[in-house]
Amino acid sequence: MSGMKDVGSPELIAKLLILQRQGEFEKKETVSEITKAEITGDELLFEFTTPLASKVNRKTIAKSYFKENVLYTAWVSALTGIFEAEGGYGDTLIGMRDSFKLV
């Protein structure tokens, strides 16, 4: 494999990474819902929400690189309200994810 697209579709890669992160890989099920997944060049950007309680969700944004047959992923999570609140930290959190670069 030479690039991210050789690993699989954006949604498949995102789902597998989410399952691994949540420790649910063997069950092959998660309550998280992928809301965005796209490959751009050598990067995979994806987002998902995870219900925590009634009307309380956590949003996670992630960025992955595929290099030398290894996926390197940066995860940024917060309550959905933190991302979406007017004057909140959404842009700051996205900036943190976007600053992740492999050297």
Higher-confidence residue: 101 or 85?
Answer: 101
Q: Kindly report the backbone phi and psi dihedral angles of residue 38, in degrees, each rounded to the nearest multiple of 5, phi listed first.
A: -150, 145
> Which residues, listed in sequence order, are joined to residue 58 by a DSSP beta bridge?
50, 79
Q: For 74-81, which contacts have Cβ atoms below 8 Å and span 24 or more sequence positions? A: 74/100, 75/21, 79/52, 80/49
Q: Is 57 exposed, middle or buried (0-12, 13-18, 19+ CB in 10 A)?
A: middle
pLDDT digits (tens, 9 = 90+) for 50-100: 999 998 999 999 999 999 889 999 999 999 999 988 777 999 999 999 999
H or E stretch at 39 = strand 33-40
pLDDT digits (tens, 9 = 90+) for 5-58: 888 999 999 999 999 888 766 777 778 999 999 999 889 999 999 999 998 999
